[in-house]
Structure 1
Amino acid sequence: MVMFRQLQNIDSAFKHIKSFSVAFLLANVLVVCFGIYMFCRTLHQQSQQVYILYNGKVLSAVAAGRDVYLPVELRDHIKTFHELFFNLSPEDKAIRATVSRSLYLADQSAKKQYDNLKESGYYNNLISANISQEITVDSIGLALNVQPYTFRCYATQKLVRSSSTVYRRLVSQGQVRDLKVKTDDNPHGFLIQNWEILENRDLPLKF
């Protein structure tokens, strides 16, 4: 009887030791997994840390994915294109220079608009009447749910001549394609396509 009880105690102790060993092993596995997770997380955070040398001082910055700044980059690309295309001086070389720069940011649809304006004598009228043209982009609406991204741009044109100033409302729309490549002439790496002018009319004079 005593022998039987001793065997039971030994068996019970063995089960306890076995359970403790399993629990200890699981705890170690969890600790190791947590350690690996924290190590990977730290590495990822370090990879996002960027150091910039500015005026002899080392500054830290955080690198973020392009998706975070996508709307900002798209709006700046669209704004830059419109400013280059519509900010015009009454001088032929200056017009050709700024419009040429804008055409790096768009496809043949922009070139077609330029050719139409040129054939209609629009640029010659600006030069002969000594009119300078400026544009202010008021707002840009974007649809980011699908590529290429659709946009609509609302802007105000200001045509200044020696005798008067005329304001015009400009509305255009198109799509923006991501080229995945950035260049000096196209720093954002986007291309405007299927661009068209929906509205370009005089606004009432302000008194």
Structure 2
Amino acid sequence: MFSHLKNIDTAFKHIRQFSLFLIIGNVITMCFCIYKSTQAVNLAQSRIHILYNGKLLEASATDRKSNLPVELRDHIKSFHEYFFNLSPDDKAIQANVGKALYLADESAKRQYDNLRESGYFNNLISANISQEIKIDSTRLQGNQWPYLFTCYATEKLVRSSGTVYRKLVTQGEVRDIQIQTDNNPHGFLIQHWEILANRDSTIQN
């Protein structure tokens, strides 16, 4: 009889161990399934389908931080192109500079007022000078807002007597205003902007 009870006790221990292993195995399997399901959902949410010219294209959504330097450089580039791409027409100048002022604070407005008071824009109009800018490089500094930047560019002034190339260097800060609009699609604002250098480099007759 004691032998029979011992066998029952041993069998019960085996069943208990087996049940414990089974429960642990089920918990591990469930955790793995939940992890893989979450991973699959996140992957599916990061894929965007775009209909372009009747074709279905797949795009990937990424975190803004991974694309932040590109967005900052594009914002800085857009501002400088609006501010310095000028034609000999007062309305065109005001329209372009107006677009630039949406991307910067009052420091850009001060620079514009200084150029206007010095007769810079009147000289462009009276001499029929077209001005274009090409961004050579943009250096970003810092790891947190506001980001410091230095922009290096080349200005091309075309007039009837020849072409003048100027080296332009500006610096400032970029702040995230967290509001994106049609006039400011990146939601950034340039502040404390100043022109460090704007001098002739070459003249072509």
Q: Same fold (TM over 0.5)?
A: yes
Structure-1 separation of matches of 2:71 and 2:83? 18
Check conservation: 2:50, 2:59, Cα contact below 8 A.
yes
Match of 1:153 in 2: 151
How far 1:15 sits from its partner (Å)? 1.4
Match of 2:27 in 1: 29
Structure-1 separation of matches of 2:81 and 2:116? 18
Structure-2 separation of matches of 1:160 and 1:59? 42
* Cα-to-partner distance string for 1:2-54 (whole Å, 9 max, x where unaligned): x3333333222221211111011000011111111111111111111212122
Match of 2:189 in 1: 191
Letter in 2 for 1:22: L
Match of 2:177 in 1: 179
Letter in 1 for 2:75: H
Question: Residue 12 of structure 2 is aligned with which of 11, 14, 22?
Answer: 14
Match of 1:95 in 2: 93
**Partner SS state of residue 184, structure 1:** coil
Structure-2 separation of matches of 1:191 and 1:23? 60
Unaligned runs of 5+ in 2: none
Structure-2 separation of matches of 1:120 and 1:140? 28
Check conservation: 2:134, 2:153, Cα contact below 8 A.
yes
Instruction: Answer yes or no: is 1:122 the counterpart of 2:120.
Output: yes
**Partner SS state of residue 192, structure 1:** strand
Under a length normalisation based on structure 1, what TM-score does the superposition of the two structures give?
0.93
Match of 1:59 in 2: 57
Match of 1:40 in 2: 38
Identity of counterpart residues, as a percentage? 62
Structure-1 separation of matches of 2:202 and 2:57? 51
**Partner SS state of residue 7, structure 2:** helix
Check conservation: 2:164, 2:204, Cα contact below 8 A.
no
Match of 1:107 in 2: 105
Letter in 1 for 2:112: Y
How far 1:55 sits from its partner (Å)? 2.2
Q: CA RMSD in A?
A: 1.6
**Partner SS state of residue 171, structure 1:** strand
